[in-house]
């Protein structure tokens, strides 16, 4: 009897459970289906263009002037007068008297020398008359007496010329147009021959010595001169930038030669560039001051021209010599490239990228070769369904973006996607000197 009760109770429980399970199955709520959207990283791209490019070289140096000398006294005496321009920074013209030494003693020597010349000339006439009266004109004695008198006259004239020269040197004149760097004497001071009175420089041409590494030398045109031959080649143009009074000013120049040897300390070669008329006013920069010796200049040297080069921003280079390109079906491809030169802001690539390829500029945290990406920009707001190669053939144009998608901060809304395809503009023709 007890077994029957237990069996009945078990069956009742199983029946109730079956009813409950059936009810739950029949009256279960419907599961809402949510569409899962594929989240692709958004990138900006730049189209690679094979072009002829000149690679700029950046360096720096100190301004010097091509002609800089010491003015030296050639006579002795007390300084009687100095020019108003005889001071540090003073400018002068060629032939201007900068300093005058008391000439009185030389003027007295001049009078004495003139008297000696007059006496010697009178002696010559006297000897000639005496030789004629004694009929010695053709004799050896007569000829010797005339030669002696003429020699004395020549010596007297030489003495007069020397005194005139010394008198002229009491005035120290400017040898060229220029400026005074420094002075070492002043009015009233007694000086002797060989004393340096001032340091001056010419203002027609300035020079700057520019250090270049081996790689930089290969990019710059440097004139070469061999023994017994003319200078060969044209130097590269340069542009100097000098800061003055909180402003930046520019001077054009040109590489003209190298210095005498390699610097033994840093193993760099120095080239010399010249700047013509550094004191001339520039109408395009009316406030530009004169270029001064000792000025520090940042210099850009125009490099050689290279053909079939791709120029990209530095941020496009990955792992030293790789770039990411967009291939068919918007799949990212990792490519190794040959870098010709790494500039300050740009990289010049000589091999590894085809003309028209699209290079990724956006930085991604995780990259897998062959992964799909989407293009993002202000106008084109969807994933393009065609490859970059096909787009180039169809004359389509892809644009860089400034939207949040380019920074990986958003996804593209499938409900508001619109494809904009614009006809690509033909590239501008390259100029001969570009």
Q: Which residues contact residue 386 at a Cβ distance below 8 angstroms, ignoring those fewer than 6 apart?
A: 329, 394, 396
> Which domains does the chain possess?
42-53+306-416 (2.40.420.20), 57-65+202-305 (2.40.30.170), 103-169 (1.10.287)
Distance CA(22)–CA(28), nearest Å, equals 10
User: Residue 340: CB partners within 8 Å, gap ≥ 6?
Assistant: 55, 306, 309, 348, 349, 350
**Unique residue bearing structure tokens 């700057």:** 208
For 177-233, what is each residue's pLDDT tens digit?
999 999 999 999 999 999 999 999 999 999 999 999 888 888 898 988 888 888 788
Start-to-end CA distance of the chain, whole Å, equals 111
Distance CA 412, CA 377 (A): 11
d(Cα 256, Cα 222) in Å, to the nearest integer?
Answer: 7
Q: Please state at what angle helix 104-133 crosses helix 140-168, rounded to 10 degrees.
A: 170
Cα dist. 144→136, 139, 155 in Å? Answer: 10, 9, 16
**What is residue 385's predicted lDDT score, i.e. its pLDDT?**
40
Query: Looking at residue 431, what is its pLDDT?
Result: 42
Do the Cβ atoms of 223 and 233 come closer than 8 Å?
Answer: yes
Candidates 273, 274, 262; CA nearest to 213 is 262
Specify the pLDDT at position 15: 72
Q: What pTM was computed for the model? A: 0.65
Give the β-pairing of 42-43 and 374-375.
parallel
Per-residue pLDDT, 264: 83
Give the pLDDT score at 344: 82
Per DSSP (E only), the strands in 105-183 are: 171-173, 178-183
Task: Name residues of the chain where pLDDT drops below 50.
Answer: 378-434
Q: For position 388, what pLDDT does the model report? A: 42
DSSP string of 75-88, one letter each residue: S-EEEEEE-TT-ST
Q: What is the pLDDT of residue 73?
A: 96
């Amino acid at each position: 009897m007890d077994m029957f009760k237990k069996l009945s109770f078990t069956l009742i429980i199983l029946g109730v459970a079956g009813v409950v399970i059936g009810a739950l199955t029949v009256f279960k709520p419907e599961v809402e289906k949510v569409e899962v959207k594929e989240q692709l990283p958004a990138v900006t791209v730049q189209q690679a263009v094979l072009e002829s490019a000149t690679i700029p070289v950046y360096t720096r140096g100190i301004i010097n002037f091509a002609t800089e000398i010491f003015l030296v006294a050639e006579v002795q005496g007390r300084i009687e007068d100095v020019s108003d321009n005889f001071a540090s920074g003073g400018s002068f013209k060629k032939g201007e008297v900068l300093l005058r030494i008391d000439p009185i003693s030389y003027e007295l020597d001049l009078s004495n020398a003139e008297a000696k010349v007059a006496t010697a000339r009178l002696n010559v006439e006297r000897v000639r008359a005496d030789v004629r009266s004694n009929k010695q004109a053709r004799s050896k004695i007569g000829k010797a007496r005339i030669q002696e008198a003429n020699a004395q006259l020549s010596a007297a004239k030489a003495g007069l010329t020397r005194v005139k020269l010394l008198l002229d040197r009491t005035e120290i004149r400017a040898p060229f147009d220029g400026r005074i760097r420094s002075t070492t004497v002043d009015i009233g001071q007694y000086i002797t021959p060989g004393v340096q009175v001032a340091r001056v420089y010419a203002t027609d041409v300035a020079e700057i010595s520019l250090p270049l590494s081996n790689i930089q030398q290969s990019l710059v045109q440097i004139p070469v001169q061999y023994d017994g031959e003319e200078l060969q080649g044209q130097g590269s143009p340069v542009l100097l930038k000098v800061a003055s009074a909180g402003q930046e000013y520019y001077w054009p120049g040109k590489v003209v030669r190298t210095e005498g040897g390699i610097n033994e300390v840093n193993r760099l070669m120095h080239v010399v560039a010249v700047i013509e008329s550094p004191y001339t006013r520039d109408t395009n920069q009316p406030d530009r001051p004169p270029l001064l010796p000792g000025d520090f200049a940042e210099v850009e040297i125009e490099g050689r021209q290279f053909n079939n080069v791709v120029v990209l921003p530095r941020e496009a280079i990955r792992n030293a010599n790789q770039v990411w390109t967009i291939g068919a079906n918007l799949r990212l491809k990792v490519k190794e490239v040959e870098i010709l030169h790494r500039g300050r802001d740009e990289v010049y690539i000589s091999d590894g990228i085809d003309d028209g390829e699209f290079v990724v500029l956006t930085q991604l945290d995780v990259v897998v070769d062959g992964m799909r990406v989407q293009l993002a920009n202000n106008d084109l707001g969807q994933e393009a369904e065609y490859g970059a190669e096909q787009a180039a053939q169809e004359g389509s144009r892809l644009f860089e973006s400034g939207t949040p998608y380019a920074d990986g901060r958003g996804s593209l809304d499938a409900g508001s996607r619109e494809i904009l395809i614009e006809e690509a503009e033909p590239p501008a023709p390259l100029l001969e000197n570009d």
